[in-house]
Every structure is written in structure tokens, then in C-alpha cells.
Amino acid sequence: MNHYAKPIKFFAFTLLLTWAAWFAAAYFSHQPGGEGLHLILTIIGSNIPFFAALFMVLGSGNRGLKRDFGTRLIGGIHLRDLPALLLLLPATMLLSIAISLLFGGSAEQFAFSELFSSAGLAGLLISILAPTFEELGWRGYGMDSLRSRSSLLKSSLLFTLLWAIWHVPLFFANGNYQNELVHLGVPYVINFFVSLLPATIIMNWIYYRNGRSTLAAILFHIMMVLTAEAFLVQESVKFIQTGVLLVVAAGLVLYDRTFFMADGAPADLKKAS
């Protein structure tokens, strides 16, 4: 029996509970004195993918599935992929800032934000913990549940759609980054959703090349968040970075076409199931 082949159950559980928490958070974000509940409900919603993965894994009664979930948290990262894992996103951001200079952007965007200072310690902690718990759910169970049924490219496209839907309530919560994009304009909202596609493709390429290492996905996601917040960039630079990452993702698909197009789950996923 394939215990990973239950994507409907996992994503229905995740989306419904996350939306319940986040829409409630959005409501309280607009109420006087509701900031505390807004924060608590936002944190709870962010952890739902992890809770859903635990529910699926522990509820399966399958020792192999439990062992697989645990062992993928430790190591499994190939040295050959460390540059892509740690340097790709900062490099694309720096390139995007450099390109923005051609259109009148400021060189001050190369400066670091307060994220790495004592004043930004709380933000830095959140930037590390939030992606960690997300990936314990997404790559801990969710992505593999899609991959067990289709090729890497198809499952990546479907995951991107589901990941985008998952984020929707955040656009209604006062003070959230996504809500700030709404105030900036529709193009900024569209860019956020489009940016999820190359991020998913690149992250999945690293994840499966490293034997389904959840740790690799966690580190990549952390770098994605840190890179977005580490520099004093104008929000318009994010459009350029999305374009750069789309080129990188397309190049990976063309370079490793068989890897992305092959039907059927990889051998280690079949064994774990």
C-alpha cells in the first residue's frame, strides 16, 4: 500500500484548517486590540502543514513511513548541490539589484537591512522557524503525495497552484507582507504568485536530487525568506528576481528533462511507501 498517495486528504486538511486560522487572523487584524490574536492565529496557520504531515504519518500505522519521515530530516545533502542550495537565491537577488540600476534603481539597495542586527533578532528567528515548519509539512508529506502519482514537473505545477491557494487569506490580514502588496497594486500580487513557480521547481529539483532530503528543502526555503528580507531592496526589484528565477527554473527543466518528465515515483519514494 502506498501511504504517500493520499494528496487529497493531506491538502484538504491543510487548506481548510489553515484558511480557518488565517481568515480569523485577518478579521482580528482589523479589530482594535486584536493584534495578539492576529499573531497567534497566523502562527497556528503557518504550522498546519506540519500538523497535517504528522497526522498522515503517525496515523498511517506504518513504521517505514515514520522512519522515512524522520531520517530525511538529518543530512542527505550532496556537496555538489550546496552552492545552489545556499548561494543561488542571494546571487539572483544581487543580480536583480544590479539590473535595477540600469533603470534608475539606487545602489543603496545592496545594503543589508536590520534583519541581522540585534534589532532584527525576532524577525530573523521567524524567518528561520516559519520555513522550517512549512517544509516539515510540504516536503515531509505533501510534495511526495503528489509525486507518487505523476512526474516531477506535473506535480511541481500542481503544488505551485495549491501553495498559492494556501497563501490567499494572508492578503486580507492587516500588516502582513501580502496585504502590503495589495496596497501596492495588482501587479505586485500577481508577481508574488508567479514567483512561487520557479521557487517550487528549483526547490523540488534540489529536494529530489538529494534523496528527498527534507533538510535540503528547509535550508533552501530559509534562504528564500532571508534573501527577500536581507537587503534594502525596492519592491519592484522582486519583479526582476522573479524573471531571473524563471529563467533558472526553465534552464533546469531543459537541462534535466528526463528527471522532470519521467512518470512514476522515484525508487526511494516507492520503497518508503
Longest distance between any two alpha carbons in the chain, whole Å: 59
Which residues fall within 8 angstroms of residue 80, CB to CB, at 6 or more apart?
Answer: none
Could you tell me if 48 and 21 are in contact, meaning their C-beta atoms sit under 8 angstroms apart? Answer: yes
Q: Is 3 assigned a catalytic role?
A: no
Q: Is 134 assigned a catalytic role?
A: yes
Residue 249: helix, strand or coil by DSSP? helix
Backbone angles phi, psi at 231, to 5 degrees: -110, 155
Amino acid at 267: A
Active-site residue, from 30, 114, 135, 167 = 167
Active-site residue, from 134, 135, 221, 229 = 134
Closest to 214 (Cα-Cα) out of 72, 66, 106, 102: 72
Could you tell me if 232 and 112 are in contact, meaning their C-beta atoms sit under 8 angstroms apart? Answer: yes
List residues with catalytic annotation: 134, 167
